[in-house]
Amino acid sequence: MGKLTTHVLDTAHGRPGANIKVELFALNGDARSAIKTIQTNDDGRADAPLLEGAEFATGEYELVFHAGDYFAKLGVKVPEPRFVDRVVLRFGIADASSHYHVPLLVSPWAYSTYRGS
């Protein structure tokens, strides 16, 4: 059964990105529809898959990670406007029977992602 999962790693502090707001949207051309909003747990992960089963379908999606708010809550001093604020990742699901894991590695100055397992 296919599913979508995510987690956040705070590379500036070498720990999981806990309590980060993450929004999931389905894309249809230029339109986007909100599906779910979660907060990462103490391990920087969602407590459950973002999508699975019948909800998990091929198509284009967007994850929005509120990284700037996370670093502000930690008291990290960054200039305004923030260099990294909301991290928007657009990606496609081509095989709804597979596990798509979309992690975010983030600092106040950079981020990266990949398709994990």
Three-class SS state of 70: helix
Q: pTM of the entire structure?
A: 0.96
CATH number of the domain at 33, please. 2.60.40.180
Q: Running DSSP on this structure, what letter comes out for residue 45?
A: B
Residue 69: pLDDT over 90: yes
What domain range is 96 assigned to? 3-113
The binding site consists of 7, 45, 114
pLDDT score of 80: 94
| Numbered residues of the known binding site for substrate | 7, 45, 114
For 25-66, what is each residue's pLDDT tens digit?
Answer: 999 999 999 999 999 999 999 999 999 999 999 999 999 999
Model confidence band, residue 117 (pLDDT cutoffs 50, 70, 90) = confident
The pLDDT assigned to 1 comes to 82
Q: Is 49 helix (H, G, I), strand (E, B) or coil?
A: coil
In the chain, how many H helices and how many E strands?
1, 9
Q: How many structural domains does the chain have?
A: 1
Percent of the chain with pLDDT over 70: 100
Phi/psi at 23 (5° precision): -110, 140
